[in-house]
Amino acid sequence: MQEHTRIYQISALVLRLLSVLMVGIILLGSSTMPPGDQTEQVRAFTREIEFDFVGWTLSSLRLKLFEAILGTSGYMSTDSRHQLVMEYLDLVTQIQQVEYDMNLFYSDPSIANPQLATAPLVKKLDDLKDQRDRIGPVAEAILQSQISYVVDQLGISVGGQPFPPVLYHSSPLPLALIVSPRDVIQLDELISLVPGLEVDERAELEGSIDSSLDVSSLVENIGGIGMYPSMVQQTDNIDWLSEVIAHEWTHNYLTLRPLGINYLTSPELRIMNETVASIAGKEIGRKVLETFYPELAPPPTSTSQSGESSQPSEPPAFDFRKEMHTTRVTVDQLLEEGKIQEAEEYMEMRRRVFWENGFRSLRKINQAYFAFYGAYADEPGGAAGTTEDPIGSAVRSLRARSTSLAEFLNRISWMTSFERLQKALES
């Protein structure tokens, strides 16, 4: 009887918390920024294929509430929890392999009837997905509790619990449509589209928007979204998974504080937000592996005060971050001189250089690409270009001067401008 009462109290508390957060999400989503003329012009192309965040959130909250009421993971031993997560990751690996094999059948010109040839694989894929869907919610609950434990150990919790609680759900993620002006790299629009658009559909949408509005656009895959619960891409990589869950939880954490509230106020604050989340995500994710999956944790590396590894290593034959930084700096200079056509021709030339050096997922490098990826400045170089120098390095310097991740987050989360960060470093 006491156990039933405890479960009821927990479920009631969870329901109240999620209800409040859900209302907040809807209000924020509907009133953050009034739509401008350009927003409506872009949405004329996307309205029919935009992602349903409200529907996804309600469905995910029901799933999380049901699992919280059952509390299955809470009755499992440490070894059983570890084993179930590994079983879940293995199922994801098998699903990805079967999907890859099916694509090969459809790509093979010698196979006259790929639908018939893949029939056994379709049955196998359905069985694997059923198994994944059965244990997936429990595996997610286990990872949530493990990240919560690490957050508490790092001193970032309130009364022994992270706030907001760590909640995430893996599902097919929406695609991001990024729109930037052509004459300057600037994030003007970021619209979420339904998952599953093929490459030709993405290219056709980009072409229509670009030619109609004289802008630079890009439809890109993403790894996660700081909704609540957070949306995280399905993967079999526990290192990447724990980092992204922690990254998106950090966004939720910042959303309750000035830095997150002001995410859209300026490009500088957006870069600060994304850089903070990247730093925290990596530190928390690494600690999760060291604590719960030590056999999968990467070997420790010593770091200097700047955050760079102090162990010398052979430079790569083609340094992606360095080459992308060079590309961005050159593009910024060309655009500043008003040479838009030359900048776009240069970016396409550089994309071919990346392709020839093995980076073949870069379908486009344009102003929208840099407007999106330039916000992630947790490491030197990369797509941030010259904007990384003062902002990214300042955020990293504050982390290096902080005695702990908790102190760093507590200080920077209350800042409302890049100038406040600069003053904090000066003092």
Residue labelled with tokens 């859900």? 22
Would you write out the chain's pLDDT as a tens digit for each of its 427 residues?
434 333 333 444 444 445 445 444 443 433 334 445 888 999 999 999 999 999 999 999 888 888 888 888 888 999 999 999 999 999 999 999 988 888 777 767 787 788 888 888 889 999 999 999 999 999 999 999 999 999 999 999 888 889 999 999 998 889 999 999 999 999 999 999 999 888 889 899 999 999 999 999 999 988 888 788 999 988 999 999 999 999 999 999 999 999 999 988 888 998 899 999 999 999 999 999 999 999 988 876 544 444 444 455 566 688 888 899 999 999 999 999 999 999 999 999 999 999 899 887 788 999 999 999 887 765 655 666 654 568 888 999 999 999 999 999 999 999 999 999 999 999 8
CA 424 to chain centre: 28
Answer whether residue 52 is part of any domain: yes
Longest dimension (CA), the chain: 75
| Contact (Cβ atoms closer than 8 angstroms) between residue 140 and residue 66 | no
Helix count and strand count (H, E) for the chain? 16, 6
Domain count, the chain: 1
The count of other CB atoms within 10 Å of the CB of residue 32 is 10
78: left (phi over 0), alpha (psi -120 to 50) or beta: alpha
Residue labelled with tokens 């890049």? 418
Answer whether residue 370 is part of any domain: yes
Answer whether residue 358 is part of any domain: yes
State which residues form the domain around 378.
1-306+318-427
The count of other CB atoms within 10 Å of the CB of residue 21 is 19
Answer whether residue 207 is part of any domain: yes
Sign of torsion, CA 21 25 26 31?
positive
Answer whether residue 371 is part of any domain: yes
CA 387 to chain centre: 21
Answer whether residue 349 is part of any domain: yes
Answer whether residue 313 is part of any domain: no
Answer whether residue 312 is part of any domain: no
Q: How far apart are CA 101 and CA 352, in angstroms?
A: 28
Q: How far apart are CA 199 and CA 300, in angstroms?
A: 39
